[in-house]
Structure 1
């Protein structure tokens, strides 16, 4: 009997020792957010302005953290986190959306669940307070992936989401910005094109999710839609690879299929999220595109890449690692 028990005891001792000597270094959960990329130079920010932006980013992180640490899904974390950014006038999404050429606000958003590759999006909506929630409703409660314009609004109403008058999205700063462009007091700059918010998250069950929301491009016309609501361009999530949210000049992100291509490179070339993201930023730069990406892989590894002077960005994980950044 003693001879039979001894090997079992040795095995148990080996397992315990291995656990103590080589603990699991992967975080149980993680979250990464962005608030847009562009010409963000420290000399253009007052200390007060910098604190304002960082405070909202930090608050958004804390909302996501509260969901994830209590065992909530990455999908819930992404939606609730983006709500904070959509409700802030500081970022080009929701309340802070920029104006179109006709002086209105048109918003786009998308969300994707890495567990089953389900996705939803809305585009060109002008009365949904939180477009990211509308995108989720499309994903979960319809047979479609993307709804646009009036139809998307009617669907959102039927789903019980908060509908607001377009005047809700008015902010003086965004209006003045449009007027300067219309009067040709300045040329369009990269900063005019890079307003988006996004979030990617990994939950304790190992599920990835990604979401992106935007007011689009200042002075846009003719119902222009960028990459943010397009699955595979501005948003993508797959439990086998990564979750990605993009920000930048959307036309270039659409042409490259940036979000899906990062996942594809990981899958087919068997390279890391970091390497795939670097390759993607190089491709973007080669064709004249500007912007950035945030991402998480299934092990909780984080990327926040850009080819611009800055990107509002932040991350947090269950190991207690966290950072809030603006400049490159």
Structure 2
């Protein structure tokens, strides 16, 4: 009997000695994994490729796939920079370069034409940590205007440079310069001709104001590419690049290079890049207004974006959209047009791509 009791006692002791170790493996491993995940610094990137009357019924399956593939390529490139510890400035530059080099978007290679049949490009960048910024306007030979905007920010005491002076600076900085013919694309040139023909027809029959009712002219104000990012160091940055408005005259400059209008970043709030009818983004100081509503009124990024894009911009008479990321990694992709080319990726590598409106 004593032997039996001894065996049971020994078995019980062994069971008691083993179970805590087993339990520690089963219960602590998920907690450790969760803690390790929480120690990964937050980061993310969001991009846009322009907003406007973008309707699925007007888009072929092949063209839709082209846009989605290029958006994915751009956002993944920026995300890769962030993932390996690169800065938010470096990330947005990588993403925007890819879109500038594609004829799909109204920036760089795919820039629209002015009334004179030329291509005049604008770009801007802002560092949310220092509030330093750089911008260029009306350049015609710089392959990647966002690179020049960054050079203005980093390597000069100025914020904005224009035209020939900006191109001289670009040459001194070793930027890649191209012949203006590089920016020629057949579809953009045909768009200019359609707008001119439509404008002339309407002006022949009605007063000048009716020219602005034509759908080609209305959408000629949209385009632009942009990116906003939060890096592992907690710093925000935003950048935007555009060919401007189709059929623009007299050296017109839109909102993109106007800091606070189409581009803004502040570590206290968010990094924002806009796309839309530039004149109204300038008048409404759209990008800064979103930041100000967050800083002074305590609104969330999404609340501020909705207030500005869905209410204030519309009441003013403008339209377009923004992409933004705040200092906590929250993202907004808000627009009041039929569609906006857009994509985002977070620290977990989760990808989201969109083109059209609510149906997505």
TM-score by length of 1: 0.92
- Per-residue CA deviation, residues 140-161 of structure 1 (Å, 9 max, x unaligned), is 0000000000000000000000
CA contact (8 A) 1:27 1:300 kept: no
Residue 293 of structure 2, aligned match among 246, 265, 275? 265
Q: What residue number does 2:318 align with?
A: 289
What is the alpha-carbon distance in structure 2 between the residues aligned to residue 192 and residue 262 of structure 1?
25
Change in 2 beyond 3 A, CA 1:256/1:301 = same
What is the alpha-carbon distance in structure 1 between the residues aligned to residue 332 and residue 40 of structure 2?
15
CA contact (8 A) 1:26 1:299 kept: no
Aligned-residue offset at 1:48: 0.3
| 2:101 is the alignment partner of 1:87 | yes
Q: How does 1:134-283 map to 2 (within 5 A)?
A: 134-184=148-198, 187=214, 188-281=216-309, 282-283=311-312
What is the alpha-carbon distance in structure 2 between the residues aligned to residue 26 and residue 220 of structure 1?
47
| 2:129 is the alignment partner of 1:129 | no
- Per-residue CA deviation, residues 196-235 of structure 1 (Å, 9 max, x unaligned), is 0000000000000000000000000000000001100000
Aligned-residue offset at 1:191: 2.0
Residue 312 of structure 1, aligned match among 330, 341, 346? 341
CA contact (8 A) 2:41 2:233 kept: no
CA contact (8 A) 2:257 2:263 kept: yes
What is the alpha-carbon distance in structure 1 between the residues aligned to residue 37 and residue 251 of structure 2?
53
What is the alpha-carbon distance in structure 2 between the residues aligned to residue 224 and residue 46 of structure 1?
33
**Higher mean C-alpha deviation, range 65-74 or range 177-186:** 177-186
SS in 2 for 1:67: helix
Gap runs ≥5 in structure 1? 1-15
What is the alpha-carbon distance in structure 2 between the residues aligned to residue 257 and residue 197 of structure 1?
18
Residue 44 of structure 1, aligned match among 52, 58, 65? 58
Gap runs ≥5 in structure 2? 1-29, 203-213
CA contact (8 A) 1:27 1:299 kept: no
SS in 2 for 1:183: helix
Pick the structure with greater CA Rg.
Answer: 2
Q: Matched residue pairs, number? A: 314
Q: Which has the higher helix share?
A: 2
What is the alpha-carbon distance in structure 1 between the residues aligned to residue 284 and residue 104 of structure 2?
29
| 2:71 is the alignment partner of 1:57 | yes
CA contact (8 A) 1:195 1:216 kept: yes
What is the alpha-carbon distance in structure 1 between the residues aligned to residue 64 and residue 217 of structure 2?
21
What is the alpha-carbon distance in structure 1 between the residues aligned to residue 343 and residue 242 of structure 2?
18
Q: What residue number does 2:117 align with?
A: 103
Q: How does 1:25-40 map to 2 (within 5 A)?
A: 28-40=42-54
Residue 88 of structure 2, aligned match among 74, 78, 84? 74
What is the alpha-carbon distance in structure 1 between the residues aligned to residue 333 and residue 31 of structure 2?
36
TM-score by length of 2: 0.84
